[in-house]
Amino acid sequence: MPRYRKERDVLGSVKVPTDAYYGSETQRAINNFPISGISLPNTFIRHYAMIKKAAALTHIKFGKLESKKGSAIVKACNELIAGMHAEQFTTDIYQAGAGTSVNMNLNEVIANRAIEILGGRKGNYKLVHPNDDVNMSQSTNDTFHACIHLTVYDELHNTLIPRLERLQKAFFKKAMDFRNIVKIGRTHMQDAVPMTLGEEFSGYASALERQIKSIKMISDALLDVSLGGTAVGTGIEAYKGYSKAVVKELRKISGVQLRSAHNFFDIQQNQIEELWVSGALRSLATLLNKISNDLRLLSSGPRSGLGEITLPPVQPGSSIMPGKINPSIPEMLIMVSLDVAGKDKENEEGALLGQLELNVYMPIIAYNLLYSIEILSKGVDVFRQKCVIGIKANEERIKQHIEENLSLATALAPHIGYSRAAAIARKALKENKTVRQVCLDQKLFTKEELKKILDSKALARVG
């Protein structure tokens, strides 16, 4: 069997591996863009195949595609939706703009697989043509954009959000577990008035809950697609009734309640929805970064730092210092967060550089969004399982910090005034004493009075 078959396109003859389902345009992209070795993820290909399937079913219903041919195309699409033939999609993310190479990769693989289903040999496009049949009433410009919306929406709701909800619940459980443990609050990285460890963790749980609500709200805009808008939004080469019908079919196939956009020109010119989602992911990353750094601080030491909580040990922390254990899981999540923030900046620049009727930087924007969702999803799951669930409170260390807390002088102010209370705090610091001891030394209050005034649980309003 020959190693290659020859295919022809507008630029001439192209050698394509005999066993490849892709054709000449994909091969040119492979030859032209050997840049990173990174391709769009298989989930994007699967969702793109859903669009192609919806189009074929619509064409069959409208009598635009002969039933036997259309059924072969649908069958080929079903194989891609099931994850088959993933090795056929290797076009680099750094490619010719707009994603034409990816769209044609789909068209060619589906066409050649449909040709086989009909009993033909790969490359016999008289049976099924990549452009005329598989790409009928479509353009890269409307389908690729729609695929970004569909894939990102699906990945947000079926991958990221469920994992965030589990993380939020894990923090809420810790908040309940720690609700009676009074500790020092800290502002400006300095000792502040008492609060509970549970209240601190409830802040993390609440912030995550708000982030989840925000992502859900913003993602609703992704339901607008411009299928049928074709090249520039006018609908050229798409027949009457196609646009609404294909969206209806795609809703059935994907389970995502997509809708035809009010203005196709707007949707195809701009990446507004993608920027909203990218910004929401960056905000989430910022929050996760802050929480992770808080946990690193609270667990620092274990003897020379705050040491108020203990994180589950997951691996040795040093190649030279025996017994050293680092906060490895929070460190991982911080790096994930930094990567997501960088991707958001890249998306912003990509959206800014879109011109006139099309943004040609859609491939990198699509990759960045899906990559960010993937690493955030995996990161928060590992963070929950290997860190948050196993966090323990070091109550003895917390009690020690409470007793030594100079901000307990705040409780004296209603009794002796702000200035005298401040003087006591300064004296306690200078003489390395507790606020309680200075008060006793100066005979300002009795032990019993101080027990009530400096009751950390009362100050933190516990019980």
- The residues that are catalytic are 188, 318
Give the integer Cα–Cα distance in Å for 188 and 203. 17
Give the integer Cα–Cα distance in Å for 345 and 352. 11
Q: How many residues does the chain have?
A: 463
Give the integer Cα–Cα distance in Å for 278 and 408. 44
Q: Is 125 helix (H, G, I), strand (E, B) or coil?
A: coil
The neighbouring-strand residues paired with 8 are 13
20 closest CA partner among 8, 10, 6, 34: 6
Q: Which helix (H) or strand (E) covers residue 218, if one does?
A: helix 197-219
Give the integer Cα–Cα distance in Å for 103 and 105. 5
Backbone angles phi, psi at 146, to 5 degrees: -65, -35
Give the integer Cα–Cα distance in Å for 292 and 327. 9
Give the integer Cα–Cα distance in Å for 274 and 280. 10
User: Would you tell me how many other CB atoms lie within 10 Å of the CB of residue 326?
Assistant: 16
User: Would you tell me how many other CB atoms lie within 10 Å of the CB of residue 430?
Assistant: 9
| Crossing angle for the helix pair 67-81 and 100-117, to the nearest 10 degrees | 120
User: Would you tell me how many other CB atoms lie within 10 Å of the CB of residue 257?
Assistant: 10
Task: Calculate ∠ Cα 188-189-191, nearest 5°.
Answer: 95
Q: Which residue's entry shows tokens 């993390």?
A: 204
Buried b (16+ CB within 10 A) or exposed e, 364-378: bbbbbbbbbbbbbbe
Give the integer Cα–Cα distance in Å for 104 and 259. 25
